[in-house]
Amino acid sequence: MKIAILSRRSSLYSTRRLVEEARQRGHDVRVIDTLRCYMNIASHKPEIHYRGENLTGYDAVIPRIGASITFYGTAVLRQFEMMGVYPLNESVAISRARDKLRSLQLLSRKGIGLPVTGFAHSPDDVEDLIRMVGGAPMVIKLLEGTQGIGVVLAETQKAGESVIEAFMGLKQNILIQEFIKEAAGADIRCLVIGDKVVASMMRQAQEGEFRSNLHRGGSARAIKITPEERSTAVRAARAMGLNVAGVDILRSHHGPVVMEVNSSPGLEGIETATGKNIADQIIAFIEKNARPDHTRTRGKG
């Protein structure tokens, strides 16, 4: 098979591992810088050009699109879909997962456990919004934040009001969520491929920190998850329409709650913590499912 990997840098761990395993399995694989792609958008024959070359003949495309280039990256991926190339994750599914508010609404519609979450536009509604999520302590999140950036724990009502007003004053969209104290700074990352969880790890925040992201100094170890957690992770990925996803879950008193569904989960942390060859399983999934025009949405919106 001829496989394209959309990634800004071939040296990134996840990109490098996918290249290694694809070649190990006998595939022709190429890393393509997403931002260097440019497109001829024509109804009779859509094209993607890259450094002066017309990209043709690809069987599958693996999107490793960073949050900062979601708009352009999904446009390039949509163009591949219009050309009949099989995407590991579809552009529509990635757009759903990247929009925190939209993703939570979709998860809620499917009856998947979530922290109590509030969203408002007017500063006049802040007091009632805080009451809605159970008061302090509360977590305040920028809708556009990633890797724990733009996530604040407000310990008191006054602190919460100040942070919310500051964000709103900067014209930022924010979510307010209940703080799941019983999680004790730990969350579970479930790596879903297809309809099953292939690996799971517990990430623990460092002392004095409530965000468990490995980029913020958190530690990780392999963990055995419950059937309910497994089902929650699979259903969350399915609700987004993602074939491969990292689903972040907190253990709360009322069962597992989903914090986020990641459409481009990093492989380094989970491969290191679990010792599992995730990259190989992703390539195997592509081998099983890649067919021309095998895209649910065919680049529609």
46 occurs within a structural domain: yes
pLDDT for 215: 54
- Model confidence pLDDT, tens digit, residues 199-233: 999 988 776 555 555 555 577 899 999 999 999 99
298 inside domain: no
- Same domain flag for 143 and 261: no
pTM recorded for the entire structure? 0.87
- In the chain, what percentage of residues exceed pLDDT 90? 60
Question: What's the pLDDT score for residue 297?
Answer: 59
Domain containing residue 32: CATH number: 3.40.50.20
Please tell me whether residues 100 and 88 are part of one structural domain: no
* % the chain with pLDDT above 70: 90
Same domain, 46 and 125: no
The confidence score (pLDDT) of residue 208 equals: 57
Instruction: With beta carbons less than 8 A apart as the criterion, state whether 138 and 127 touch.
Output: no
Q: Do 106 and 247 share a domain, yes or no?
A: yes
Residues 200 and 107 in one domain: yes
Q: Are residues 171 and 232 in the same domain?
A: no
Q: What is the pLDDT of residues 93-129, one digit of tens each?
A: 999 999 888 999 999 999 999 999 888 777 777 888 8
Range of the domain at 54: 2-92
Q: How far apart are CA 84 and CA 229, in angstroms?
A: 35
| Predicted pLDDT at 83 | 93
- Domain of residue 153, CATH code: 3.30.1490.20
Could you give the CA distance from residue 250 to residue 212 in angstroms, rounded to a whole number? 11
- pLDDT band (50, 70, 90) for residue 164: confident
Asked whether residue 56 falls in the same domain as residue 186, the answer is no
pLDDT at 49 > cutoff 90: yes
Does 246 map to a domain? yes
pLDDT in tens, 250-281: 998 888 999 999 999 999 999 999 999 999 99
**Residue 72 reports pLDDT greater than 60:** yes
> What backbone phi and psi angles, to 5 degrees, belong to 29?
-125, 145
